Each structure stands twice: as structure tokens, then as C-alpha cells.
Structure 1
């Protein structure tokens, strides 16, 4: 298994967009799979914000994560964000999510980012183990979430 830029594997863009859409699409009813796919394609930077990284094994997509400017309209002052961390259900429990998160943190550090943000409704303990701190609890898109931050040492 290795982590690579999605832009180096364009054949995986639609699959990752579909996984993200199935996981989180219900929170944005106006969203479509086509618009999610276009946003994923547009986010496919490399060594920049936005960037997308993917976990791949034997040519198959296992999961992905994004580094983006903003992931929460309610907190426009917070930037940049770790977003869309997703690992296929049958691949969970192998540490893939942790590797994806750590890779995004490394990408942010290489860009000189001092703080990185995320929000989650269910994975607070994972992120806490990886050095993230709770910033606030709130409701967003009708879902109780935890906003977290990670200071990045330069």
C-alpha cells in the first residue's frame, strides 16, 4: 500500500468522488455526483492547496483525503482544512486513515501552513491520537460535529 497524489492517477477521480458522495452527499441535498466529481477533479493539485492524496494497493483505490482552503462555510476564517478522509469499509482497521491524515499534515507542513483544521462527527478519537485538539463542538448541516485543529511544526 502506498499514498500518492490523485492527479497522478486520474482514472481514480470518479471512484473517489463517488465514495465521498455516497458517504457525505446527503448533508448537501443540492449536490450531485457530477458536481462532486468536478470539484474532486479541480482539487487535484500537487504540492499546493488544494491537493488530494489516495491510498492505493495493487492498482486499486483504498481511500483518500483532501487538503483544501475551506470546508466549513460557518468558519471562513479557518484555513486550510483536512477534508474527505475516507477508507473503503473492507480496508478499515489497517491504519490507512492515519497514513492519509499524516500525509496531508506533511503536505501542509511543506507549504508552511501553521495550523490545519477539520471537522468530524464520528472520528474524534482517531484525530486526537494523531495530535489534533478540539476547537469547538457545534451543529453543521444539521449534524453535531467537532471542529479540531492541528498545529504544524515548521
Structure 2
């Protein structure tokens, strides 16, 4: 498995956008696959916020993760965020998500970002194992989520 910048593999943008849309599209009413694809294309940075990383097996997309400015409208003061961590079902349980998360933390550290945030409704234990700490629990439009943070100096 290799982790690389999505901008180095632009042909994978539609596929990753579709995976993200199918996983989380219902949480953003009015969103479309086309809009998600354009946002994914716009987020394809390298050495900056935003950045999108992908896990690959050769040319096959296994999953992806984003480093973005903001991911929770109710917490605009928290920035930047790890978001969109996704691994295709058939490749889960192989440490791919952990690898993507660790690489995003490394990217943030390289950018001198002292603290990174995320929110999750179901993967608190995964992130806790990777050094993330709970900041708060909140209701985000009917979904109970946990906001977590990670000090990037501990990379």
C-alpha cells in the first residue's frame, strides 16, 4: 500500500468523491455528487490546507482522507480538521485508515499546525488509539458526535 496526494492521481477524484458522497451525503441536504466532486477537486492541495491523501494498491484506490480548514459549522473556531477518512469495505481491517490518519497528522505537523480536530459518530476508539483526545460531545443536527483533537507535536 502507498499513500500519496490525490493531486498526483486526478483520475481518482470522481471515485473518491462518489465514495464520500455515498457515505456522508445524507448529512448535507441538497448536496450533489457533482458538487462533492468539485469540492474534492478544489481540495487537492499539496503542502497546504486543504490537502487530500489517497491510499493505493498500484493504481487501485483503497481509501482517502482530507486535511481541511473547517468541518463542523457549529465550531468555526476549531481549525483545521481531519475529515472524510474512508476505506473501501473490502480493504478494511488492514490498517489503511490508521495509515491515512497518521499521514494527515504528519502533513499538519509539517505545516506547523499545532492542533488538528475531527468529529466522529462511531470511530472514537480508533482515533483514541491513534492519540486523539475527546474535546466534547455534541448534537449536530440530530446526530450525536464526538469532537476530538490531536497535538501534532507528538508525531
2:21 counterpart SS class: helix
Q: TM-score normalized by structure 2?
A: 0.98
Shift of 1:141: 3.0
SS at match of 2:24: helix
Match of 1:153, SS state, is helix
Secondary structure in 2 matching 1:146: strand
Residue 72 (structure 1) shift: 0.6
TM-score by length of 1: 0.99
What corresponds to 2:43 in structure 1? 43
In the alignment, what sits opposite 1:82? 82
Post-superposition, which runs of at least 4 consecutive aligned residues in structure 1 deviate over 6 A? Answer: none
2:100 corresponds to 1:100? yes
SS at 2:52 equivalent: strand
Aligned to 1:69: 69
1:86 offset after TM fit, Å?
A: 0.1
- Residues 1-154 of structure 1 correspond to what in structure 2 (within 5 A)? 1-153=1-153
The Cα offsets for residues 48-89 of structure 1, whole Å up to 9 and x where unpaired, read as 000000000021000000000000110000000000000000
CA distance in structure 2 between the partners assigned to 1:136 and 1:75 by the alignment:
11
User: Structure 1 residue 142: deviation in Å?
Assistant: 2.0
Q: CA RMSD in A?
A: 0.8
Partner secondary structure for residue 106 of structure 1: helix
Structure 1 runs not aligned, ≥5 long: none
Mind listing any 5+ residue stretches in structure 2 that lack a counterpart?
none
CA apart distance, 1:130: 0.2
1:94 and 1:11 map into 2 onto residues whose CA distance is 24
CA distance in 2, matches of 1:14, 1:34: 9
Counterpart secondary structure, 1:78: coil
1:25-58 superposed Cα distances (whole Å, 9 cap, x missing partner)? 0011210000000000000000100000000002
Deviation digits for residues 105-153 of structure 1 (CA, Å, limit 9, x no counterpart)? 0000000000000000010000000000000001113211000000111
Provide the C-alpha distance between the structure 2 equivalents of 1:71 and 1:51, rounded to a whole number of angstroms.
Answer: 14
